[in-house]
Structure 1
């Protein structure tokens, strides 16, 4: 790995997932989609900062400690309520998760810190008043950093899709790489096929759009309409909490390793071969499979990911 690492900035919510334990009793697990992405990158040894809101309470202290233990520098402003946001998680028989949120997202400013990659997503991109701050930050870094978006639709928070769908389209046009699940697309663009939407998005600006399909794998779409399919990774699922976020974090790590960061990120991303992108998306799918094999958001370390890939390569080598 090179001595000077690309600097990654993640902007978005950090919270506590309240997840049923094996005995049915609720247990707190630190989480939040952007926080999970930051954690995934930190555990892989990346230089990553998370801009978020945390309450001055025991849950906030636990979330901060969890992130810092994973190598994330936490740049947190206080929540207006003083409480750390939470999400009550319900798991179905397959381990798939749904969420009921108690969320405070009033982000007023993002520190002006140097960065080569900016990742945003989930509730932070669509819930006012903080969503405008996220958009402003994303727009300000266009052409200066690799811009990554994971919409991660949350209809429980924004039941009217009109505003969120429009905001996502605005962010997609700015982004270099978009990762989105087929379930997110079904809500954001009902009636449109996920690959068709991904192709339309890729033609609008991003150099890469990846549609994840749970156990069925993922499809990567390039601006010229090329589609690359990666099969699912067989795994015994504990639950799906943090699966897509881990996918996003590992995807970014692998792209950064191939030189997609900083002012030339867009060109570097478009110059990658189909083989490169198949490897990148496969690596992300393996990372997500490790996460779902364990309860809560629990992304792999570099050693765990390398072992699962059957290689001792350093994904950060450039």
Structure 2
């Protein structure tokens, strides 16, 4: 168990999300799944360092200011331009992405074991940076070096347009799964990776590769988690009026990591995570809750009009509310 103050090293991309909706001017939000997780951790009071890439441009400066405003320590290799993604929202706030992104994080210095001031207590990786070469090799070398000595978490955050052929993507994802203690994925991730398979079956197979816990988010149906010891916890989503779904999964991941680091039990971890996701989708962009906002929602206080969280239940008893989380 890590202590309440244990920091997390997050490795992965920053992306400028250019949010586009019909009839409205474009809005630029700092984004990128790993960057969102680092920001979400810092908002919850968890020290976070982000190992990433940024360009010397306006988007890069925007993202760095955003991350540092929450207290994230940014360690960035410089690239020609900051990656971007056009995020088109439909009438329900669901997001579709078009990417302009590369990942070339160098293998020495910044990412090498000697480049870290001290051994990390926890490392989080995921999304584009964990599977896109040539930078993915640097990420995996770092994780392999600390495997068994640091707690490793992983979120594939599948982006089909960037994953290449499915069979190759599955091999890369499963390599990361095997190096991890905690894995989180969405039902949409699993549907693309393993068409026609039930999320529960995939979770069980992933557990056989090595993780102690696999958590799966189900959108409007909440989330479940299974453990290598045979535990199974299911939590309903929190009903909320959706602004958009950008960053919801990353807020879930940040809250899950923070809760686990403080020693919360698995039902409590999932409850915190689905509540953080609900607070995020209720406002535009990847805007995760602060520690105070999350605590208020968990205590039953309405935060900006949002509905408070529900108590977790067993898998057999969990209600299935149509909402978003």
Under a length normalisation based on structure 2, what TM-score does the superposition of the two structures give?
0.87
Q: Give the structure 1 partner of residue 99 of structure 2.
A: 101
Q: Cα distance, 1:224 vs. partner?
A: 3.3
Q: Give the structure 2 partner of residue 262 of structure 1.
A: none
User: Does residue 112 of structure 1 match 2:110?
Assistant: no
Q: For residues 192 and 113 of structure 1, what CA distance do their matches in structure 2 show?
A: 43
Which secondary structure state, in structure 2, belongs to the residue aligned with residue 156 of structure 1?
A: helix
User: Does residue 83 of structure 1 match 2:88?
Assistant: no
User: Does residue 287 of structure 1 match 2:276?
Assistant: yes
Q: Give the structure 2 partner of residue 32 of structure 1.
A: 32
Give 1:125-204 correspondences, 5 Å limit.
125-204=130-209
Q: Cα distance, 1:46 vs. partner?
A: 1.1
Give 1:300-311 correspondences, 5 Å limit.
300-310=289-299
Q: Cα distance, 1:227 vs. partner?
A: 2.0
Q: Cα distance, 1:217 vs. partner?
A: 0.3
| Alpha-carbon distance change, 3 to 139 in structure 1, aligned in 2, over 3 angstroms | closer
Conserved? CA contact 1:91–1:98, under 8 Å: yes
| Alpha-carbon distance change, 97 to 254 in structure 1, aligned in 2, over 3 angstroms | same
Q: Give the structure 2 partner of residue 68 of structure 1.
A: 68
Conserved? CA contact 2:21–2:88, under 8 Å: no
The CA deviation string for residues 222-256 of structure 1, in whole angstroms up to 9 with x for no partner, is 11333211111101111010000010000000000
Q: For residues 295 and 21 of structure 1, what CA distance do their matches in structure 2 show?
A: 12
Which secondary structure state, in structure 1, belongs to the residue aligned with residue 161 of structure 2?
A: coil
User: Does residue 238 of structure 1 match 2:230?
Assistant: no
Q: For residues 160 and 10 of structure 1, what CA distance do their matches in structure 2 show?
A: 26
Q: Which consecutive aligned stretches of 4+ in structure 1 deviate over 3 angstroms post-superposition? A: none
The CA deviation string for residues 85-140 of structure 1, in whole angstroms up to 9 with x for no partner, is 00000112211111100002100131324210100000011111111111111111
Q: For residues 70 and 203 of structure 1, what CA distance do their matches in structure 2 show?
A: 37
Alignment RMSD: 1.7
Which secondary structure state, in structure 2, belongs to the residue aligned with residue 157 of structure 1?
A: helix
Conserved? CA contact 1:14–1:31, under 8 Å: yes
Which secondary structure state, in structure 1, belongs to the residue aligned with residue 224 of structure 2?
A: strand
What are structure 2's unaligned runs of at least 5 residues? 302-325
Conserved? CA contact 2:19–2:28, under 8 Å: yes
Q: Cα distance, 1:159 vs. partner?
A: 3.6
How many aligned positions are there? Answer: 293
What are structure 1's unaligned runs of at least 5 residues? 259-271, 313-318
The CA deviation string for residues 248-275 of structure 1, in whole angstroms up to 9 with x for no partner, is 00000000001xxxxxxxxxxxxx8xxx
Conserved? CA contact 1:34–1:121, under 8 Å: yes
Q: Give the structure 2 partner of residue 261 of structure 1.
A: none
Residue of structure 1 aligned with 2:227, choices 211, 222, 235: 222
Q: Cα distance, 1:203 vs. partner?
A: 2.4
| Alpha-carbon distance change, 192 to 225 in structure 1, aligned in 2, over 3 angstroms | farther
Conserved? CA contact 2:3–2:261, under 8 Å: no
Residue of structure 1 aligned with 2:126, choices 121, 127, 141: 121
Q: Give the structure 1 partner of residue 288 of structure 2.
A: 299
Q: Give the structure 1 partner of residue 306 of structure 2.
A: none
Q: For residues 228 and 171 of structure 1, what CA distance do their matches in structure 2 show?
A: 23
Conserved? CA contact 2:68–2:74, under 8 Å: yes
Q: Give the structure 1 partner of residue 51 of structure 2.
A: 51
